[in-house]
Amino acid sequence: MALFQCDYFSNVLGLSTGMTVILPNNGQAGADGFPTMYLLHGLSDDHTIWLRRTSIERYAEEYGIAVVMPNGHRSFYTDMKDGFPYWKFISEEVPALARAWFPLSTEREDNFAAGLSMGGYGAFKLAMRRPDMYAAGASLSGALDMVTRWGPDDDFWNAENRRIFGSVEELRGSDDDLLHVAERLAASGGEIPKLFQSCGTEDFLYEMNLGFRDHARELGLDLVYEEAPGGHDWAYWDTHIQRVLEWLPLRKK
């Protein structure tokens, strides 16, 4: 695999940011370009963390897939109420720039989103809101129901939620409420991405993940759900990102 660390100016955000990209080393991109997984980080990390805490470069090599890891800061990959337009950044600018700089496929069947925690939320949001672009989305330990993350005794978290989403009333039923997005997707009659969800049974987001799983199943979405002993930590994510790569519906070339 070949590794690229990109520092660049985002016109959407109006600031300098970074992107880490892994490309297959055999140089055989094919006529459509390399299949690509956009791999998103969690709340307290950045675009370098997957490379630093897992063997994602080694794992991806087996599948001949490119991996694009952008920096989403603490945005929940959302056009923030008080902040920056990170949804437009992640859904439009990041893939456009990555495809301009690297031989990446633009075909829906070759594009996938994945992530952990906040990134699991972002990956499912990409897959479910842009099913025209992504054939599949994978969430590890995802924060998949942000409506429930408001707490009466957690002033810091509630203040951060307000900066990102506005009020809980504004979030509920919006494009950033994944349960609502799932309902709309199921009723759309259009393309439906495959979804993969995994969470550790000792994770503090475990009950939230069960709730999303049950909601998606009731809607009839194409969801594979797996769980295993583990917490909200890199030991779990390093193991289960391998399962994500194994599950991805990669096309035979």
Burial of 162 (0-12, 13-18, 19+ CB in 10 A): middle
* 154 falls within a domain: yes
CA nearest neighbour of 209 among 227, 194, 235: 227
* 252 falls within a domain: no
* 53 falls within a domain: yes
| pTM for this entry | 0.97
- 88-145 pLDDT, tens digit per residue, is 999 999 999 999 999 999 999 999 999 999 999 999 999 999 999 999 999 999 999 9
Host H or E run for residue 38: strand 36-40
Instruction: Give Cα 106 distance to the centre of its chain.
Output: 18
* 28 falls within a domain: yes
- 169-208 pLDDT, tens digit per residue, is 999 999 999 999 999 999 999 999 999 999 999 999 999 9
* In contact, 7 and 16? CB cutoff 8 Å: yes
The encoded tokens of residue 35 equal: 């299949």
130: domain range? Answer: 2-247
For 84, the 3-state DSSP assignment is coil
* 74 falls within a domain: yes
pLDDT tier at 32 (50, 70, 90 boundaries)?
confident
* 217 falls within a domain: yes
* 253 falls within a domain: no
What CATH number corresponds to the domain at position 105? 3.40.50.1820
pLDDT, mean of residues 204-231: 98
**How many domains, the chain?**
1
